[in-house]
Structure 1
Amino acid sequence: MAYPGGQLSEEKVFKDPVHRYIHVRDKIIWDLIGTKEFQRLRRIKQLGTTYLTFHGAEHSRFNHSLGVYEIIRRIIDDVFVGREHWDHSERLLCLCAALLHDLGHGPFSHSFEKVFHLDHENFTQAIILEDTEVNAVLRRMGNDFPKKVAEVIAKTYQNKLVVSLISSQIDADRMDYLLRDAYYTGVSYGNFDMERILRVMRPREDQVVIKRSGMHAVEDYIMSRYQMYWQVYFHPVTRSAEVILTKILHRAKKLYESGYTFQTKPVHFYSLFVGNVNLQDYLKLDEAVILYYFQQWQEEKDEILRDLCSRFVHRRLFKYVEFSPTNEQMKKLMELTLLFKKAGIDPEYYLVVDSSSDLPYDFYRPGEEGERLPIYLLMPNGELRELSRESVLVDAISGKRRTDHKLYFPDDFLYDFSTKRATKKKIMEILEG
């Protein structure tokens, strides 16, 4: 079934700093962009608290979603068209799934999800399948079309090639966020030759593969991803902001459960606090709403909530030291916990171990948990070879998980005159040792 209206009478373009232009020719894409659920993504930052580390990182999920759509559009309209294994009738399904893949992200994304035990992918599917403007647009393609789009995003759609374009180890989602995040943070780590990768992509029955001649461009892409995770996404200052954000939400929830009377009632949080969030409540949440409460809670009677909100709003972040969860370090942490309590500093909110972990590239090994679809190279003789079998560089990092631990604390509290000198001295000796 064709979408009513089919193609726009005139192509629409969005100026974009990463792709130069984002082209929209299909009326369904234009209509989806105009829905209130998609427009909400303008109010969700792509990189959460990273703007407190890299001041340029103010870009949104809206920017990124358009970018992923544009990459997919180029692949299927310029590279795949007319090639074996590619079914062009899947074109609009691919474009819609690419555009909508991040639709369910909440404010400050992953930090928010951890506190309230949410899953943005579940909300993405709910927005697509339930009574929303997005669902109404998609149903013009047929009553089963929203379900197909949701299946692509959930990685359960029968055509695995379509899924791999949006979700794999070398997909449009990753390519856009690496280039976009590098641009807006002002770093060079995330840059790679996307043009070359697109040119050497080929459709196969179950996934996208890369011509052997493009191997070095893929190596560059994987190393760019590795560098971006450790230099940007896991930056310790950003992690400090996330720790404070998380502790604010935990404190507000705990106060609510204890019957505390808020001066500014957290009406937008009620369903989150009781673990009963419906779609309508969820869609009312964006970062402007959350920051409003943080601003207001700086005047609360509760000292911890007031202090944490002031720290976040005015960027008075926690300091950190390296931490390794060895027996010796854990003993030091226990000693620090007691000293913090002695000093009148609540360690539940002011002494926090935070860990980050990343696996830059891997492939599925029988008997191991997790689905890791490898990147395959298409050899000149038509054979497919897993990337790490051909690349010495990728082989060196394949399956190597890197984990980093930091201990976060408010150093300004340790200089407070109300803290006894002997206690402060002992705390500093442990932290500096």
Structure 2
Amino acid sequence: MKSPKVTIINDPIYGFITIPNGVVFDLIQHKYFQRLRRITQMGLSYLVYPGAHHTRFQHAIGCLGVMQKAIKVLEDKGVEISAEEKEGVFIAILLHDIGHGPFSHAMEHSIVEGVSHEHISTLFMEALNKEFNGSLTLAIEIFKGSYHRSFLNQLVSGQLDMDRTDYLKRDSFYTGMAEGNINTERIVAMLNVKDNKLVVEEKGVYTVEKFLVARRLMYWQVYLHKTGIVAEQLITRVLKRAKELSHNGTVLSSSNALQYFLQHRIDSDTIKNSLDTFAQLDDYDIVSAMKEWCSHDDFVLSELSKAIINRDLLNVKIKKKPFAASKLEQHKSSLMQKFEITEHEASYFVFTGTISNQAYNYEKGGINILLNNGKIVDVVKASDQLSLKSLTKEVVKNYLCYPKPKR
């Protein structure tokens, strides 16, 4: 009797990852999932770190690989996990990011109104569940946190989940930012389950400390890098301007899928009916549209598009205190006079906002440390590092973006 064919993917982070035959393999082959090959994991961060071109597809496969190791570790420690639960948690982690739009977060704040990628991920999973005759029912329960074995949800979505465990190591690798390089193997090896909760054994406390510090550093140095912030703000504003023009009757050159979202108001109530069209959208739609829009008659749309395509970004300043309104008005006024544009148009180029960094939030489940005496305590209490408590505090900073003086 021939053994069933095994599919392996060679990942640059972990080496070979085995893809289970059956529903998991079929989901990876599905067009909804294959779309993730065309969506960058870190949005426009490659304008700062040239190596950061890796995709949501790579991240999802990496998460699956880490989850497989975590489940094996738990089983080896006597945690009983059924075949159905294993498949369910594998599907949940594989599809946890399937709802991301082009450039990961830009869509959520522009042409789709108030719809999170988590909500769209759930809709995709429910649509796939119908197509796969209910095979994703348990995965959806685990993903939503409604399944009675809560540690499975913690593995997918928690303060020390397989999502964070992969993206920190992967993003560190592709950006070359060594400070984010966590010890994934040891984190996974220290996992256990007690009282239906995911815990980390006491000897792994220092590895968790390193994980939290790495997360904080990666946010300040990579995810919240000032150039990355202004780039993401610009692409959001490009799409907002494109939608504004479309609603006023201007027909813009773009793909059919992008055209649909520019012309229609899509919110949490209507996104479900637009799921197939959303599935056709990826980074390529946005980039090709912006290349066309660089020569458009509209000053705002063309200048914003050129800023991204040519990496001629806005100036950005960051400080703890909010910027004075007079500073904002000064930059706007200068721009309005120079280019004879309205205050509304100038606001696309001059704006303020806030960024925040909280490496650890124990109110959202926390990270439980299993002490050698059998007690469970939060990692902050288990740690002898005073600095770890400071990681629980949210640090908020203000930014101001405005055009560079034209040479």
Partner letter of residue 121 of structure 2?
Answer: T
Q: CA deviation at 1:198?
A: 1.3
Q: How far apart are residue 257 of structure 1 and its match? A: 1.7
Q: Is the 8 A contact 2:179 2:218 kept in 1?
A: yes
Task: Show the 5 A alignment for 1:240-259.
Answer: 240-259=230-249
Partner SS state of residue 350, structure 1: coil
Q: Which residue is 2:390 aligned to?
A: 397
> Deviations along 1:413-433, whole A, 9 cap, x unmatched?
4x4xxxxxxxxxxxxxxxxxx
Match of 2:164 among 174, 182, 193: 174
> What are the superposed Cα offsets for residues 86-139 of structure 1, whole Å, 9 maximum, x if unpaired?
555411111111111111111012121111222212221222212x5x7534x3
Match of 1:428 in 2: none
Report the residue type matching 1:286 in the other structure: D
Q: Structure 1 residues 304, 398: CA separation in 2 closer, same or farther (over 3 Å shift)?
A: closer
Structure 1 counterpart SS, 2:400: strand
1:8–1:49: structure 2 CA closer, same or farther, 3 Å change rule? farther
Match of 1:124 among 121, 124, 130: 121
| Letter paired with 1:283 | A
Aligned to 1:312: 308
Counterpart in the other structure of 2:42: 47
Secondary structure at the aligned position of 1:157 is classed as coil
1:346-361 aligned at under 5 Å gives the runs 346-361=345-360
Instruction: Supply the distance in 1 between the matched residues of 2:49 and 2:391 (Cα, whole angstroms).
Output: 29
Map of 1:29-428 to 2, 5 A cutoff?
29-81=24-76, 83-84=78-79, 86-87=81-82, 89-115=84-110, 116-117=112-113, 118-130=115-127, 132=128, 135-137=130-132, 139=133, 143=134, 145-262=135-252, 268-276=258-266, 277=271, 278-326=274-322, 329-344=324-339, 346-364=345-363, 372-393=364-385, 395-413=388-406, 415=407
Which whole-Å CA distance do the structure 1 matches of 2:147 and 2:198 have between them?
Answer: 15
Please report how far the alpha carbon of residue 337 of structure 1 lies from its aligned counterpart in structure 2 after TM superposition: 2.8
- What is the number of equivalent residue pairs in this alignment? 393
Which gives a bigger RCO, structure 1 or 2 (Cα 8 Å, sep 6+)? 2
Q: Which amino acid aligns with 1:193?
A: N
Identity of aligned residues (%): 28
Aligned to 1:424: none
Q: 1:83 to 1:247 in 2, by over 3 A?
A: same
User: Is the Cα contact below 8 Å between 1:203 and 1:209 reproduced in 2?
Assistant: yes
Alignment CA distance shift 1:412-1:273 (3 Å): farther
Greater gyration radius? 1
Q: Which residue of 2 aligns with 1:367?
A: none
Unaligned ranges ≥5, structure 1: 1-6, 365-371, 416-433
Kindly report the root-mean-square deviation, in angstroms, between the aligned alpha carbons of the 2 structures: 2.2
Distance 1:26 1:77 in 2: 17
**One-letter identity of the residue aligned with 1:102:** D
Quote how far apart the aligned CAs of 1:293 are: 0.7
- DSSP 3-state at the match of 1:299: coil
Report if the CA contact (8 A) 1:8-1:26 is conserved: no
Q: Secondary structure at the match of 1:189?
A: helix
Distance 1:267 1:19, change over 3 A: closer
Task: Tell me, in whole angstroms, the C-alpha distance in 2 between the residues paired with 1:406 and 1:391.
Answer: 34
Deviations 1:311-341 (A, max 9, x none): 1111111111234554x72332233333332
Say if 1:324 and 1:198 are closer, same or farther in 2 by CA, change over 3 A.
Answer: closer
Change (3 A) 1:28 1:263: closer
